[in-house]
Amino acid sequence: MAKFLRRIFIFSLFAAAFYFCFGFFIVQPIGKLKDGSTILYFRLGANGRFISSIDGVLLDNSEDINLVSRMFVLGKLGKVVNERKVASFPYSNTLYLISTNGKDFN
């Protein structure tokens, strides 16, 4: 039983460290980015949410969601996320919907 509890404790420490140090940034398919992507990045000190997207950032800031505002946010955050990128994965619509609280703006 002590081994099991120790493993649970160690797993919890790793999970908490992952949650606070890394994040997922979802780039939905828009314009020239026909495939979209999900980027795992080092977010410690970047003030981002664990699961974020361009539309999610616009919603958090009470902005209108249109192509111009999307490109502005992508230009601003894209550089930071790209500099801190750990891995890139295919686009995930499920993570996109989590980042926008279930709203789809395609």
- Between 31 and 82, where is the model more confident? 82
Residues 6+ positions from 36 with CB-CB distance below 8 Å: 26, 27, 28, 29, 30, 90, 91
50 φ, ψ to 5°?
-60, -45
**Contact by Cβ (8 Å): 73, 99:** no
> What is the pTM for the complete model shown?
0.83
| Residue 32: predicted pLDDT | 67
